[in-house]
Chain A
Amino acid sequence: MMATRIRQAVRRPAHRTAWAGRAMLIPAVVAVGIIAVYPLVFSIAASVSDSNLGQQFTDWVGGANYAALLSYGVTLPSLGRSVVFALASAILALTGGSVVALCLDVSVRSGRVLRVLLLLPLMTPPVMAGVIWRLMLAPTGGLFNNVIQTISAGAEPFLFLGSSPAAMISVIVVDAWQWAPFCALLVFAALQTLPAEVYEAAQVDGAGALQVFRRVTLPLLLPSLLTTLLLKVVLSFKVFDLVFLMTGGGPGFDTTVSSYDIYRTGFQTFDIGMAAAQTIVFLVLVTIVILPLNAVRRRAQEGAS
Chain B
Amino acid sequence: MTVQRRRSSYRLIAASAVTAGVIVVAGCSGSASDDEGAGTLSVLIAAPQEGAGKILEEEFEKTHDVDLTAEVVPYDQIQSKVTLDVQSGTSAYDVIQYWYPTVGVLAEAGALADITDWVAEDGDIDQADFIDAVYQPYTQYDGKTYGLPIDGDTHVLFYNKEIFERNGVEVPTTWEEYADVARTITENESADGVYGTALLGSKSAFNIGSSFFNRLATMSSEPIDSQMPQLDSDVAVEAAQAMLDVSEYALPSPLEIGFEQALPQFLAGKVGMMEFWTDLGVFAQDPEQSQIVDGWGVAPLPLGPEGSVSGALNAGWAMGISPNAADEDLAKEFVAFASSAETNEMLITTTGSGIDPTRTSTLESEDYAELVPEVAEVNEQVLPNAQSWPTSPAAPEMIQTLGDNLALMLQGNLSAEEAVADTWDTWQPLAG
Contacts and interface: CB of A to CB of B under 8 A. Distances in A.
A in complex with B: yes
B111 interface: yes
Contacts of A249: 203
Interface in A163-201: 163-164
A162 B83 contact: no
Most buried by B among A153, A156, A269: A269
Given A54-B87, A54-B111, A162-B256, A270 B191 contact: no
B203 A154 contact: no
Contacts, number: 84
Contacts of B404: 74, 253
Contact of A268 (B76, B270, B411): B76
A164 B408 CA distance: 12
Contact of B400 (A55, A139, A157, A268): A268
B411 A159 contact: no
A115 interface: no
Given A250-B203, A252-B408, A54 B110 contact: yes
A162 B86 CA distance: 39
A251 interface: yes
Contacts of B110: 54
Contacts of A126: none
Nearest to B409: A252
Interface in A137-157: 138-141, 149, 153-154, 156-157
A300 B202 CA distance: 47
B251 interface: yes
Contact of B407 (A141, A251, A268): A251
A139 B202 CA distance: 14
Nearest to A74: B404
Contacts of B252: 139-140, 156-157, 159, 162
B109 interface: yes
B360 interface: no
Interface string B392-408: 00001100100010011
B230 interface: no
A267 interface: yes
A140 B396 contact: no
Contact of A162 (B77, B191, B193, B253): B253
B246 interface: no
A159 B256 contact: yes
A210 B76 CA distance: 55
Contact of A140 (B80, B87, B251, B410): B251
A121 to B, nearest CB: 23
Given A139-B256, A157-B252, A251-B255, A54 B83 contact: yes
B400 A264 contact: yes
Contacts of A270: 79-80, 83, 105, 396
Contacts of A140: 193, 251-252, 265, 270
B8 interface: no
Contacts of A96: none
Contacts of B254: 162
A53 interface: yes
B28 interface: no
Contact of A154 (B191, B256, B408): B191
Interface residues of B, number: 36
B229 to A, nearest CB: 17
B423 to A, nearest CB: 13
A101 interface: no
Contacts of B411: 164, 250-252, 254
B116 interface: no
Contact of A53 (B83, B203, B256, B410): B83
A252 B256 contact: no
A161 interface: yes
Most buried by B among A153, A154, A251: A251
A138 B256 contact: yes
Contacts of A154: 191
B413 interface: yes
B413 A252 contact: yes
Nearest to B87: A54
Interface in B252-269: 252-256, 261, 265
B120 interface: no
Contacts of B191: 153-154
B80 A53 contact: yes
B84 interface: yes
Contacts of A268: 76, 396, 400
B383 to A, nearest CB: 28
B259 to A, nearest CB: 14
A270 B410 CA distance: 26
Interface in A1-53: 53
A182 to B, nearest CB: 29
Interface in B365-422: 396-397, 400, 404, 407-408, 410-411, 413
21 contacts: A53-B80, A53-B83, A53-B84, A54-B86, A54-B111, A139-B251, A139-B256, A156-B252, A162-B252, A162-B253, A248-B202, A248-B203, A250-B202, A250-B411, A251-B256, A252-B411, A252-B413, A253-B408, A267-B76, A270-B80, A270-B105
Interface of A: 53-55, 74, 138-141, 149, 153-154, 156-157, 159, 161-164, 248-254, 264, 267-271
Interface of B: 76-77, 79-80, 83-84, 86-87, 105, 108-111, 191, 193, 202-204, 251-256, 261, 265, 270, 396-397, 400, 404, 407-408, 410-411, 413
Given A54-B87, A54-B109, A162-B256, 17 more contacts: A53-B80, A53-B84, A55-B87, A140-B251, A140-B270, A159-B256, A162-B252, A248-B203, A250-B407, A251-B253, A251-B407, A252-B407, A252-B411, A254-B411, A269-B397, A269-B400, A270-B105
